[in-house]
Amino acid sequence: MVIRKDGKDKFLAIGDGLIQVTGDRVAVLTDMAVAAANIDEAKAEEARQRAVARLREKLSAEEVAAVNASLARSSAQLQVKRRHHT
């Protein structure tokens, strides 16, 4: 997600959520929003690798859903960080 304010762009990794647009205002409700500058690429990559390894294990449907959510979060953070080095 890109937030543009006063001619400057701020890049965020965001999770699932809702967006509401009214006139000149946008509201976002999400379970995760991390600025690119605050993302630790090494930690996000470690989390991604742990999630991938966990998916190779025998897991319940609930565990698979939780691991997939973790994988999505870490992947989103890596994508933003790698595109917008800060």
Q: What pLDDT sits at residue 5? A: 87
H helices within the chain, ranges in order? 41-55, 61-83
How far is CA 64 from its chain centroid?
A: 18
pTM of the predicted structure, to 2 decimals: 0.80
Q: State the Cα–Cα distance between residues 20 and 26, nearest whole angstrom.
A: 6
Q: State the Cα–Cα distance between residues 1 and 11, nearest whole angstrom.
A: 6
Q: What pLDDT sits at residue 14? A: 93
- The single-letter code of the amino acid at 3 is I
Q: What pLDDT sits at residue 84? A: 84
Q: What pLDDT sits at residue 12? A: 93
The full DSSP string for 47-65 is: HHHHHHHHHTS---HHHHH
Q: What pLDDT sits at residue 86? A: 57
Per-residue pLDDT tens listing for the chain (86 residues):
999 889 999 999 998 899 999 998 999 999 999 999 999 999 999 999 999 999 999 999 999 999 999 999 999 999 999 998 75
